[in-house]
């Protein structure tokens, strides 16, 4: 066996070449060692992270602006909904006025929703839709029936 063959055998067995390294057998470029001082490393890290920190601050500011804008929209929507709900209650006031007058005229202090519907010549479903308006009206109280657990009564408030 020649010396070159011997060299390849040793390389295969021990993974270390016995002869000199040629340019093709040198260590890959990614295995090169770079030595930096701590201050150089800190400077390098600062240079890399500074643009990212600025970007993060800009995004945080944008997010705060978006959040305040969203909260403003939510507040405006709530105000609009409140106005709409109050508007629908005010529109139904004549019907509640009729119910109040009928109850006073007949002398009834409380009625169920079906009886109230017959008194004002409306459907029971329509009176049930007005349940929130009736509850908000200062002339009425809605309370559960003592005789039937799923039934509600409309009662006139005492003066």
List of E strands, the chain: 110-112, 140-144, 152-156
Q: 93-156 domain in CATH 1.10.10.1100?
A: no
pLDDT band at 135 (very low <50, low <70, confident <90, very high): confident
pLDDT digits (tens, 9 = 90+) for 73-89: 898 888 888 777 765 55
Structure tokens at 78: 């709530």
**DSSP designation for 143:** E
**Whole-model pTM?**
0.43
pLDDT digits (tens, 9 = 90+) for 139-151: 999 998 888 888 8
Answer yes or no: are the C-beta atoms of 9 and 3 closer than 8 Å: no
Q: How far apart are CA 159 and CA 154, in angstroms?
A: 16
Q: Which residue ranges make up each domain of the chain?
A: 37-90, 93-156
């Amino acid at each position: 066996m020649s010396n070159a063959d011997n060299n390849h055998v040793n390389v295969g067995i021990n993974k270390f070449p016995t002869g000199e390294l040629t340019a093709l057998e040198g260590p890959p470029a990614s295995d090169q060692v770079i030595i930096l001082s701590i201050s150089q490393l800190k400077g390098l890290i600062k240079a890399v992270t500074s643009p990212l920190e600025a970007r993060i601050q800009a995004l945080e500011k944008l997010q705060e602006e978006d959040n305040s804008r969203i909260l403003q929209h939510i507040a405006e929507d709530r105000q609009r909904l409140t106005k709409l709900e109050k508007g629908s209650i005010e529109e139904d006031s004549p019907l509640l006025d009729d119910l109040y007058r009928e109850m006073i005229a007949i002398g009834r202090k409380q009625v169920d929703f079906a009886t109230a519907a017959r008194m004002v010549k409306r459907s029971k479903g329509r009176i049930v839709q007005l349940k929130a308006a009736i509850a908000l009206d200062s002339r009425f109280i809605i309370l559960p029936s003592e005789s039937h657990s799923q039934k509600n009564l409309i009662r006139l408030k005492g003066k």
